[in-house]
Amino acid sequence: MGIFWSIYQSVMIDFFTTDNTTRLLPVYRQFLEEHVYPIEREVISRPFRQSLTQLQKLREKAKEQGLFVPHLPKEDNGPGLSLIEFAQVSELLGTTPIGHFIFNCQAPDIGNMELMHAFAAPHLNDTYLKPLQRGEIRSCFAMTEPEFAGSNPVLMGTTAVRNGDDYIINGHKWFTSSADGASFTIVMAATDAASSNPYERASMILVPLPHPGVKLLRNIPVMGESGEDYMSHGELQFTDCRVPLSNIIGEEGKGFALAQARLGPGRIHHCMRWIGICQRAFDLMCQYAASRSLGGQRMLGHQQVIQFWIAESKANIQAARLMVLHTAAAMDKFGARAVKEEISTIKFFVARVLMDVLDKAIQVHGALGITDDTILAYWFRHERAARIYDGPDEVHKASLAKSILKKYGLKFERL
């Protein structure tokens, strides 16, 4: 793994180096090398609950070293990093499938933390956000519905009807990641389905779990694995699910605005992590190419076509990283609204690079590449979703193009 890091620290990355990254990146690296890489394959190949104790110990260790919740400010016991600094930490954690979980900055919890920190009432934050930040509980986010295309946010079948001091929620959600075992969900539901402004129909409401009105129908089998606990994607039925009106996040009718606010940073978080996956896959590809003999001293890496894959992957990863770091730096400086185009851009650009690098790394490994003897096949099947979740590539491309073409004077009925 020594080579890995020396490759990693290329001349380019220095431009984004700060005192924090200089100090912390080596510490995170050492933690990963000592504690995480050695166990990652075991964790992902057995039912997740069997690893909880082991992972909890690592979380404690991370806390002791001040490495826990790297996205949080110091007042919340995080290291207080800027986004450009966190981007580099997150890329690092992304080099292993269990990195973000151990440091409690994993989706969907990180998104819920950000959302609640910005918009939730203090009583919700005391009860739910604080233990979430401390890693004592997990959460989930129930937005997608199987009956309606997610690319059209106006379509939503779940309703939340006021009844006295309560909302009564009915509806059907799926791809509620990590619902199995979560202590609460934030659910998107139509509170005013008849509103003339379709973007003001929905609200976000916190529902504690387990709850008599919420049934986990199944952990959806995704690419052959239903998974469990954190590593699962739940299908939920809400039936006359009653929660207090005060469980609303932000204002009623602002659900879509909150979703945008939540998803924007969420997308860059995914991108950061994807760069880490790319870098690790690239490293595995180079290691194997340099050491797998085709007979005598002739190695795979002497094959020109494999050299080309390595060169093209290097270029693509570098491009992806620069775009993500740049967007992070711009968000630090100008805020999330200013980089809307950039967020869309990196969402589809990095997802494509990710799938391409994984595919090439697998092909270099040959039959070994499709086994679970490396972690490549895990990412190959689970990150296929990268081009779909948080808005499929196609939605982001159309959105970016429309934003550009509007500057050239083209009219759209609606963006």
Name residues contacting a copy of itself, limited to 242-261 (CB under 8 A).
none
Smallest distance from a copy of itself to CB 304, Å: 4
Cα–Cα distance measured from residue 47 to residue 228, given in angstroms and rounded to the nearest whole number: 7
Region 94-123 residues binding a copy of itself, contact defined as CB under 8 A:
none
Residue 4 CA to chain centroid, in angstroms? 24
Strand 159-163 relative to strand 139-142: parallel, antiparallel, unpaired?
Answer: unpaired
Binding mask 261-290 for a copy of itself (x = CB under 8 A): -------------------------xx-xx
Nearest alpha carbon to residue 211 among 175, 240, 232: 240
Binding mask 165-194 for a copy of itself (x = CB under 8 A): ---------xx-------------------
Quick check: 141 binds a copy of itself (CB under 8 A)?
Answer: no
Nearest alpha carbon to residue 89 among 99, 77, 98: 99
Smallest distance from a copy of itself to CB 111, Å: 17
Identified binder of a copy of itself from the candidate list 68, 301, 357, 390, rule CB under 8 A: 301
Do 275 and 328 touch, CB atoms closer than 8 A?
no
Region 315-374 residues binding a copy of itself, contact defined as CB under 8 A:
315, 318-320, 322-323, 326-327, 329-330, 334, 338-339, 341-342, 344-345, 348-349, 362-363, 366-373
Identified binder of a copy of itself from the candidate list 146, 162, 163, 217, rule CB under 8 A: 146
Cα–Cα distance measured from residue 361 to residue 369, given in angstroms and rounded to the nearest whole number: 7
Q: Closest CB to a copy of itself among 257 and 336?
A: 336
Identified binder of a copy of itself from the candidate list 1, 3, 118, 217, rule CB under 8 A: 3
Nearest alpha carbon to residue 323 among 354, 359, 361: 354
Identified binder of a copy of itself from the candidate list 248, 378, 379, 390, rule CB under 8 A: 378
* Angle made by CA atoms 109, 36, 386, in degrees to the nearest 5: 45
Cα–Cα distance measured from residue 354 to residue 341, given in angstroms and rounded to the nearest whole number: 20
